[in-house]
Amino acid sequence: MTVSPAQVTQHDVAEAIRRNILEGDLVAGQRLVEADLSESLGASRGAVRGALIDLTHEGLVERIANRGARVRVVSIEEAVEIIEVRAAVEALCAAKAAEKITDEEIAELRRLGEEMSAAVASGDVGTYSRLNTHLDERFVAISGQQVAAETLARLQGRSVRHQYRLAYRPGRSQVSLPQHLAIIEALARRDPAAADTAVRAHLASVLEAVREIAPSR
């Protein structure tokens, strides 16, 4: 079935661009040319223009005078601030999730932990990184904190470049795996305080590692 440009909405275009930024297909500083995006996404120029405006408001895209739009460049300093905010918001979500989690969700998270362990054992950094993101998404969803979820979604894209570099740093997965497993076990015990502490400990480790890569940015 052929999809006409009129059927591809501004929301569809924004979702597609956002996903490409989050997955690293569009990198920091890369130009976003309306004509190219319109052709590749099968959307009208108006839908693309509106989507870029929406993503600018989210902080994922920036508009440069006389040069158009590009994927926003986030400094190490801003990335640090984002992680500090994430620590507070994700810790809240983890504590709430520990109060609400079901037996089925506990089993799901434990299976996820097993998959993460297997990915680290096999050296599959890409899969491990995706599973990390999925774990975060799951306990935030379990928490039922919609405003927190929306806040975290906006923050994630703004720091994706630093997250990607950190994920592929030698030895990083061996450091972070026990931290993620600790989060899962705290949730499985339905212990809000332990879940809060485990998330804060993990993101403190992330913060330290991001600061260490600052000289090489």
**Distance (Å, whole) CA 22 – CA 158:** 9
Q: Is the pLDDT of residue 217 over 60?
A: no
Q: What share of the chain in percent tops pLDDT 70? A: 89
Please tell me the predicted confidence (pLDDT) of residue 1.
Answer: 29
Please tell me the predicted confidence (pLDDT) of residue 164.
Answer: 58
pLDDT digit string, tens, across residues 20-48: 877 678 887 899 999 999 999 999 999 99
Domain boundaries, the chain: 5-71, 76-216
What pLDDT band is residue 156 in, cutting at 50, 70 and 90? confident
Order of strands, edge to edge, in the sheet holding 31-32?
31-32, 68-71, 61-64
Q: pTM (2 decimals)?
A: 0.72
5-71 is a CATH 1.10.10.10 domain:
yes
> 5-71 and 76-216: same fold?
no
76-216 is a CATH 3.40.50.300 domain:
no
Q: Are 74 and 209 in contact (CB under 8 A)?
A: no
pLDDT digit string, tens, across residues 41-92: 999 999 999 999 988 887 788 888 878 899 887 778 888 898 999 999 999 9
